[in-house]
């Protein structure tokens, strides 16, 4: 069972305040389901009820539960009626320990009396009727706590004690890596407390502006927008935000235009920084906006997935998708600073985390034998999202990527091709399986094994290194063999179509040892 805590119960039983207190004391992140819906719809709950009705709101709740069901290390403060739906009840039970916060009706009435943002409550009679109707629906909880005469912190302590939760978060500043490119020099702050890391960045940037614009999505916004906005306010910078829908399918020109509309309507000038808060999708889209809006404005990347921290946020590639292909439109535009807070990686779903680990393994194979060993030795801690180890990993990866980018900023000298290890065959696998059978990371994992096998076959790598590479990749739950529906002939056929082939030759990164790779022009037929 995941160690999430799910707070359910009638309105006015204190789910949000208790949730916030538990989060503060345990280092977990609070996710209020009502906040998520308000951010997604850009309206307060009351208005959603008034304009679209309860049925629509319940539909949004259902979609939201599906979206958050695999997150980790969170405290979920649910809306009172979310458990009316059977599927929601099942999914919430699977997500973690469900705690029913209860209170006496008279106390609830008192607490709700002055709350105008309660859609279903208008009078005392209605409160008691709904209270009666909902009796019993919270009984699937693992634990029941009455909050009637207790202080918030007392309730939080009781829950923490009963569940024996340990605070695994450590606030530390790990490293600052300076990236020096021809276009820009900028620092990458790596730490494990978003507030501390943002503070460092604020001091460095000397922002001479009254406003900053945060671009994020409903999920990341619900989890992390507030701490970022709090820091900005501390520096007398007024944050405004725009929420973009979550997912690769929204990395489009249409969304970019909606962001331009927002910026222009708010008369945003080019010295007001755009802050990309999210994974690679948000980073690419916000980066593209920043590079084109008024011919380029300040850009701060706050990457929140492991992939974005070790790869997408570093190096200045921005992009959006076109119906004819991914990342078909884009710019090279370096950020003014990057804030990589490894503590945020604790909430990533297992699938997203694993997906990004393929890129981390890649860095170990191509350039960093110590990183490779660390990944071999510390698998358990990595899966436990130990912030210290994650800090070490992200620092090593950023170091490698930034050096490569410094040498070949615009991908013109062929050096950046080093980062393509595993991607040539990985990309073929993604195409042949219609982007539906594997995540990008899984396809790259198989690609790395296949490309390594070819290095062994051509006598450039020892068999034992292939075994280590395959062993490491599969120990992270990533696939290492081609799927049954793809044969070697399919790969050969697809590779012959690769745009990188010139006169029958292709330039590829070939591993010649763990942590050592050379770029070589190889005869395509030989490589196959």
Ligand X SMILES: NC(=O)c1ccc[n+]([C@@H]2O[C@H](COP(=O)([O-])OP(=O)(O)OC[C@H]3O[C@@H](n4cnc5c(N)ncnc54)[C@H](O)[C@@H]3O)[C@@H](O)[C@H]2O)c1
- Verify whether residue 496 is a known catalytic residue: no
Instruction: Give the pair of three-digit tokens for residue 308.
Output: 């974005």
Contact partners, residue 412, CB within 8 Å, separation at least 6: none
Which span sits near ligand X by CB under 6 A: 41-49, 111-119, 188-196, 275-283?
275-283
CA distance 258 to 204: 31
H-state helical runs in 96-217: 105-112, 124-133, 152-163, 194-205
Q: Does 342 contact ligand X by CB under 6 A?
A: no
Looking at beta carbons only, is 155 or 302 nearer to ligand X? 302
Q: Which residue is nearest to ligand X (CB)?
A: 280
The residues pairing with 239 across neighbouring beta strands, listed in sequence order, are 212
Catalytic position from the list 229, 423, 430, 451: 423
User: Burial of 499 by CB count in 10 Å (0-12 exposed, 13-18 middle, 19+ buried)?
Assistant: exposed
Catalytic position from the list 251, 362, 440, 454: 440
Among residue numbers 489 through 528, which ones bind ligand X (CB under 6 A)? none
Which span sits near ligand X by CB under 6 A: 78-86, 157-165, 281-289, 457-465?
281-289
Among residue numbers 308 through 327, which ones bind ligand X (CB under 6 A)? 308, 311-312, 315, 317, 326-327
User: Is the distance from CB of 252 to CB of 312 less than 8 angstroms?
Assistant: no
Beta carbon of residue 190, minimum distance to ligand X (angstroms, whole number)? 15
The residues pairing with 179 across neighbouring beta strands, listed in sequence order, are 186
CA distance 86 to 98: 15
Q: Does 404 contact ligand X by CB under 6 A?
A: no
Q: Does 276 contact ligand X by CB under 6 A?
A: no
User: Is the distance from CB of 409 to CB of 316 less than 8 angstroms?
Assistant: yes
User: Is the distance from CB of 130 to CB of 176 less than 8 angstroms?
Assistant: no
Q: Does 302 contact ligand X by CB under 6 A?
A: no
- Verify whether residue 427 is a known catalytic residue: yes
Beta carbon of residue 41, minimum distance to ligand X (angstroms, whole number)? 17
User: Is the distance from CB of 187 to CB of 176 less than 8 angstroms?
Assistant: yes
CA dihedral in degrees (511, 514, 515, 521; nearest 10)? -10
Q: Does 219 contact ligand X by CB under 6 A?
A: yes
Q: Look at the alpha carbons of 33, 37, 42, 47 in this order and tell me if their dihedral is positive or negative.
A: negative
H-state helical runs in 318-368: 350-367
Beta carbon of residue 296, minimum distance to ligand X (angstroms, whole number)? 17
Q: Provide the CB-side half-sphere exposure for 372 (13 A, CA).
A: 20
CA distance 349 to 469: 24
CA distance 440 to 435: 8
Q: Does 193 contact ligand X by CB under 6 A?
A: no
Instruction: Give the pair of three-digit tokens for residue 265.
Output: 């309507």
Instruction: Give the pair of three-digit tokens for residue 500.
Output: 């990188």
Looking at beta carbons only, is 12 or 319 nearer to ligand X? 319
Instruction: Give the pair of three-digit tokens for residue 182.
Output: 């021809």
Looking at beta carbons only, is 262 or 288 nearer to ligand X? 288
Q: Does 35 contact ligand X by CB under 6 A?
A: no
In this chain, which of 13, 193, 217, 334 binds ligand X, going by CB under 6 A? 217
Q: Does 65 contact ligand X by CB under 6 A?
A: no
Beta carbon of residue 23, minimum distance to ligand X (angstroms, whole number)? 14
Beta carbon of residue 485, minimum distance to ligand X (angstroms, whole number)? 25
User: Burial of 367 by CB count in 10 Å (0-12 exposed, 13-18 middle, 19+ buried)?
Assistant: buried
Looking at beta carbons only, is 176 or 252 nearer to ligand X? 252
Catalytic position from the list 15, 427, 450, 454: 427
Q: Does 255 contact ligand X by CB under 6 A?
A: no
In this chain, which of 18, 242, 348, 400 binds ligand X, going by CB under 6 A? 348
- Verify whether residue 323 is a known catalytic residue: no
- Verify whether residue 4 is a known catalytic residue: no
- Verify whether residue 410 is a known catalytic residue: no
Beta carbon of residue 106, minimum distance to ligand X (angstroms, whole number)? 39
Looking at beta carbons only, is 26 or 305 nearer to ligand X? 305
Looking at beta carbons only, is 13 or 217 nearer to ligand X? 217
Catalytic position from the list 355, 401, 442, 451: 401
Q: Which is nearest to 6 in space by CA: 31, 37, 25, 40?
A: 31
Strand 299-303 and strand 211-216: pairing? Answer: unpaired
In this chain, which of 344, 397, 398, 425 binds ligand X, going by CB under 6 A? 344
Q: Does 272 contact ligand X by CB under 6 A?
A: no
DSSP 413-449: SS-GGGGGTTHHHHHHHHHHTTTTSS-HHHHHHHHHH
In this chain, which of 9, 27, 79, 279 binds ligand X, going by CB under 6 A? 279
Beta carbon of residue 397, minimum distance to ligand X (angstroms, whole number)? 12
Beta carbon of residue 412, minimum distance to ligand X (angstroms, whole number)? 16
Q: Provide the CB-side half-sphere exposure for 445 (13 A, CA).
A: 25
Size of the site for ligand X (CB under 6 A): 28
User: Is the distance from CB of 100 to CB of 143 less than 8 angstroms?
Assistant: yes
In this chain, which of 278, 422, 509, 511 binds ligand X, going by CB under 6 A? 278
**Contact positions toward ligand X, by CB under 6 A?**
71, 217, 219-220, 223, 246, 248, 251, 278-282, 284, 304-305, 307-308, 311-312, 315, 317, 326-327, 344, 347-348, 352
Active-site positions read 295, 317, 359, 401, 411, 416, 420, 423, 427, 440
């Amino acid at each position: 069972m995941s160690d999430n805590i799910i707070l359910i119960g009638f309105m006015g039983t204190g789910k949000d305040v208790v949730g916030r207190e538990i989060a503060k004391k345990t280092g977990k992140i609070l996710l209020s389901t009502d906040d998520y819906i308000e951010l997604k719809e850009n309206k307060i709950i009351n208005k959603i009820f008034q304009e679209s009705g309860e049925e629509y709101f319940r539909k949004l709740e259902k979609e939201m539960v599906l979206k958050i069901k695999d997150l980790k290390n969170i405290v979920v403060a649910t809306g009172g009626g979310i458990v009316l739906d059977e599927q929601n009840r099942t999914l919430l039970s699977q997500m973690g320990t469900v705690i029913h916060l209860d209170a006496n009706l008279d106390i609830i009435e008192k607490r709700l009396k002055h709350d105008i943002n309660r859609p279903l409550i208008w009078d005392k009679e209605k409160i008691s009727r709904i209270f009666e109707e909902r009796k019993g629906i919270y009984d699937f909880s693992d634990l029941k706590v009455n909050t009637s005469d207790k202080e918030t912190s007392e309730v939080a302590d009781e829950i923490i004690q009963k569940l024996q939760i340990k605070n695994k978060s450590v606030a530390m500043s790990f490293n600052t890596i300076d990236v020096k490119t021809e276009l820009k020099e900028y620092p990458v702050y790596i730490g494990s407390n978003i507030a501390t890391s943002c503070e460092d960045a604020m001091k460095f940037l000397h922002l001479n502006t009254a406003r900053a614009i945060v671009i994020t999505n409903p999920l990341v916004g619900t989890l992390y927008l507030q701490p970022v906005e709090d820091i900005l306010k501390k520096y007398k910078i007024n944050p405004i935000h725009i929420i973009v829908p979550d997912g690769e399918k929204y990395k489009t020109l249409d969304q970019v235009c909606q962001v331009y509309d927002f910026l222009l309507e708010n008369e945003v000038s080019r010295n007001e920084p755009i802050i990309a808060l999210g994974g690679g999708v948000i980073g690419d889209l916000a980066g593209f906006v920043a590079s084109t809006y008024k011919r380029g404005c300040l850009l701060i990347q706050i990457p929140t997935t492991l992939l974005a921290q070790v790869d997408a946020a570093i190096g200045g590639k921005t992009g959006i998708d076109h119906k004819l292909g991914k990342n078909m439109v884009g710019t090279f535009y370096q950020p003014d600073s990057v804030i990589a807070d490894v503590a945020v990686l604790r909430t990533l779903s297992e699938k997203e985390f694993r997906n990004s680990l393929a890129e981390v393994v890649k860095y170990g194979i191509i350039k960093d034998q110590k990183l490779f060993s660390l990944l071999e030795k510390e698998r358990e801690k990595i899966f436990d999202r130990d912030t210290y180890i994650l800090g070490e990993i992200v620092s090593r990866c950023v170091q490698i990527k930034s050096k490569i980018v410094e040498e070949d900023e615009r991908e013109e000298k062929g050096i950046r091709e080093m980062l393509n290890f595993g991607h040539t065959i990985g990309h073929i696998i993604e195409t042949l399986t219609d982007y539906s059978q594997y995540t990008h990371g899984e396809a790259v994992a198989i690609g790395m094994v296949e490309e390594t096998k070819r290095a062994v076959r051509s006598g450039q790598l020892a068999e034992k290194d292939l075994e280590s590479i395959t062993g490491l990749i599969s120990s992270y739950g990533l696939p290492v063999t081609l799927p049954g529906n793809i044969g070697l002939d399919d790969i050969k056929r697809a590779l012959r179509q690769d745009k990188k082939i010139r006169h029958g030759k292709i330039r590829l990164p070939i591993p010649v040892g763990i942590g050592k790779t050379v770029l070589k022009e190889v005869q395509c037929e030989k490589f196959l």
